[in-house]
Amino acid sequence: MTPMIPPMLDFATGRLRGAELLEKSTTLADLHGLFADPAADAEVDSQTVLYRVAMLPGSGVEGDLNMGVTHLEAGRIGSEFFMTRGHMHARAEQAEYYFGLCGTGLLLLQDMAGVCRLEQVFPGSVHHIPGHVAHRLINTGETRLSALAVWPAIAGHDYKLMAERGFGLRILAGEDGAPRAVDSSMK
Ligand code: PA5
Ligand code: NI
């Protein structure tokens, strides 16, 4: 019997290959209204791709797992670093793991009570995202940030909840360019 060659992940770059991938790009236009500074938003081409997700196709059935790699570009809208939309799982109790592959950034986690925490993302970092915790990636580096995610196929994405509530923290560059967390209610 000849063993099959499974799909491959290049851990140094996050590139997935060897299978027909599902790919989705998210542009600045898709994230309209998410960044704090609308004037800075308007100055950037709205078709700029902020991130891409490449996923191995899963069966979607209960008990199965999905895996995908998010490639989040480096950049800022005004002083705010590029970030993913962020979400709670539609089945909110379902957990997820993220693994940093390349680049550097932050994982913003927010529980149902609105309490936020941040974890540093770097090559080799491991992040357990418990159920009932919304999550967003932020690229605070100067190169693309790629992170692997593994989550239950039934988890789903609820984008509406966080669109209504908002994340309590924003990550802005200070005058020296270093990231600092700012309460979202502050201007
Ligand atoms: O399942 C996840 O949490 C990730 O694969 C995200 O979906 C990915 O990082 C893109 O972020 P969002 O779904 O918030 O646009
Ligand atoms: Ni998720």
What would the pLDDT profile of 85-138 be if each residue is shown by its tens digit? 999 999 999 999 999 999 999 999 999 999 999 999 999 999 999 999 999 999
Ligand nearest the Cα atom of residue 136: 1
Half-sphere exposure at residue 106, Cβ-oriented, CA atoms within 13 angstroms: 21
- Give residue 185's pLDDT: 87
What is the DSSP pairing of strand 145-152 with strand 116-121?
Answer: unpaired
Alpha carbon nearest to ligand 1 atom 8, residue: 70
Residues with CB under 5 A from ligand 2 (ion): 96
What's 143's DSSP letter?
S
Ligand 1 atom at minimum distance from 136 CA: 14
Please check whether residue 169 is in contact with residue 118, taking contact to mean a CB–CB distance below 8 angstroms. yes
Cβ-count burial of 3 within 10 angstroms (0-12 exposed, 13-18 middle, 19+ buried)?
exposed
Q: With a 6 A CB cut-off, is 117 part of the ligand 1 pocket?
A: no
- Give residue 158's pLDDT: 98
Q: With a 6 A CB cut-off, is 98 part of the ligand 1 pocket?
A: no
In this prediction, the residues of the chain whose per-residue pLDDT falls under 50 are none
Q: With a 6 A CB cut-off, is 41 part of the ligand 1 pocket?
A: no
- Give residue 187's pLDDT: 59
User: Which of 16, 53, 129, 160 most suits a substitution to test ligand 1, by most atoms within 8 Å of the C-beta?
Assistant: 53
- Give residue 186's pLDDT: 77
For the record, the structure tokens of 60 come out as 């979607």
How many angstroms is it from 164 CA to the middle of ligand 2? 17
Please check whether residue 122 is in contact with residue 146, taking contact to mean a CB–CB distance below 8 angstroms. no
3-state helix, strand, coil in the chain (%, to 5): 10, 45, 50
Q: With a 6 A CB cut-off, is 147 part of the ligand 1 pocket?
A: no
- Which residue, among 144, 141, 146, 142, has the nearest Cα to 123 in the 3D structure? 146
CA-atom Rg of the chain in angstroms: 17
Q: With a 6 A CB cut-off, is 121 part of the ligand 1 pocket?
A: no
- Give residue 140's pLDDT: 98
Alpha carbon nearest to ligand 1 atom 9, residue: 70
